[in-house]
Chains A and B, each alone.
Chain A
């Protein structure tokens, strides 16, 4: 009798414990919660690249990355510019008055900097050569590139690409909406607006609100365009993607995205060729994965959350 009483009591105690501590966990599953993790599960995909090196810049906030013909790596950010060797060894650094948002290095080693609302050119030794006047009071320069004597700057503020000469004069503006010429106009909901120059000197610009790439003649004529909107691996999804891109030596395009954090390689017609890195390689919510490619076709990724330069090499 006493034993059965104790048994019943223990059953009641076990039930109370289950009700208090375990049943609550079942209740915590909320039918209203949006689960976006499924979009980032890409277990079946096998990246063709692997990460081979990481190193950390000193400056506190990092925004832009570029490389020169000697494969030196230039990082721009809150303090100015830091230059590293191909293996991540510090080479030199210099300070700038304003925060560097983007940068490019020409074949002679001159360093072009996008400093929010204007452009500055520094000598290879880090001395200021010329500072261009302010482009516009609403200007936010997000990308800069050079082709011979032409300097191109993407302005997310006025949603236009400016073409300058070396003395800072605006030669022409590119990409303003013009239905008669078939130019759709840039849609830039947030300050992710990248451009790049291929080895043969042609200008490519991301139209981030349309998930498209647009190729322009220097005079502003639209040559071609391709668009890929999709949550799938072969497309771009969300606001302002791809956030950044760079060219491989064969002209193929390396892209980085925010939202679904990933890096991929496309040909110039928009066909997906390779996956470089998938969402699992990055911290959730990362934005501003700026890219550069060195002469060995290594992909240099600026990771602003881990505060690293991460280098990926093709493995197969």
Chain B
């Protein structure tokens, strides 16, 4: 009888150890399956295509993040470094100075820096940019199109249904592979 009890005790211990073993194996298997599926199917992120973007301003107002996860990105490779920059100055600006009333950007997010006569460099301060695309429209209409809107992936929540994509009138938003998360024309510095 006592032997039987001892045997039962051992079985219980074995049962607990077996349970732990099975749990660890299942856990590892689950993690492996998850990672495997992710690598096979590919994680995707939201991004907008600058070629389709019409700079309607909805990226600033329809993102669930505040300010928007969409920012202006400057592709320096195709910038003309112009003094009279269509993305920086309001169209009817009389003098080409950095005075606030001359600037197109509503948040003063573009910095203008003199390089050499008559070239100027324009840099985006991302923490100030609200993604309205005013500068992008000015640059596209009157310049080389070096200012482009992009979803900044480190700021984006990657919602299942992107609120901006739902309101985008030109269908510029789509899911693209996370391994190649930007759609810039030219190259970003």
Where the two chains meet, the residues of A that have a C-beta atom closer than 8 Å to any C-beta of B are 30-34, 36, 39, 187, 189-190, 209-211, 229, 231, 237-240, 259-260, 285
Contact = CB atoms under 8 A, between A and B. Distances in A.
Given A190-B80, A209-B82, A238-B142, 15 more contacts: A31-B57, A32-B60, A32-B106, A33-B55, A33-B132, A33-B134, A187-B118, A187-B119, A189-B80, A211-B84, A229-B84, A237-B142, A239-B80, A239-B82, A259-B142
Contacts of A33: 55-57, 132, 134, 137
A84 B138 CA distance: 38
15 contacts: A31-B57, A32-B61, A32-B132, A33-B56, A33-B134, A34-B133, A187-B82, A189-B79, A189-B81, A209-B80, A209-B118, A229-B84, A238-B86, A259-B142, A260-B142
Contacts of A285: 141
B133 A36 contact: no
B80 A34 contact: no
Given A39-B91, A189-B81, A30 B144 contact: no
B134 A238 contact: no
B110 interface: no
A189 B137 contact: no
B67 to A, nearest CB: 12
Interface residues of B, number: 29
A33 B55 CA distance: 7
B80 A259 contact: no
A30 B56 contact: yes
Contact of B137 (A36, A209, A210): A36
Nearest to B169: A28
B115 to A, nearest CB: 12
A118 B106 CA distance: 46
Q: Which 5 A-B pairs have the closest CB atoms?
A: A189-B80, A238-B142, A32-B57, A32-B132, A30-B57
Nearest to A241: B142
A190 B141 contact: no
A231 B91 contact: yes
B124 to A, nearest CB: 16
Given A187-B118, A189-B80, A189-B82, A36 B91 contact: yes
B58 interface: yes
Contacts of B61: 30, 32
Contacts of B66: none
A189 B55 contact: no
B172 to A, nearest CB: 15
A34 B138 contact: yes
B133 A259 contact: no
Contacts of A238: 84, 86, 141-143
A209 B117 CA distance: 12
B92 interface: yes
Contacts of B130: 32
Contact of A231 (B60, B81, B92): B92
Contacts of A31: 57
Nearest to A211: B84
B57 A36 contact: no
B138 A36 contact: yes
B144 A239 contact: yes
B104 A34 contact: yes
B82 A32 contact: no
A34 B137 contact: yes
B86 A239 contact: yes
Contacts of A36: 91, 137-138, 141
Interface centre among A32, A187, A189, A229 (most CB of B within 10 A): A32
B56 A259 contact: no
Given A34-B104, A190-B80, A259 B134 contact: no
A311 B56 CA distance: 35
A238 B133 CA distance: 18
Interface string B51-73: 00001111011000000000000
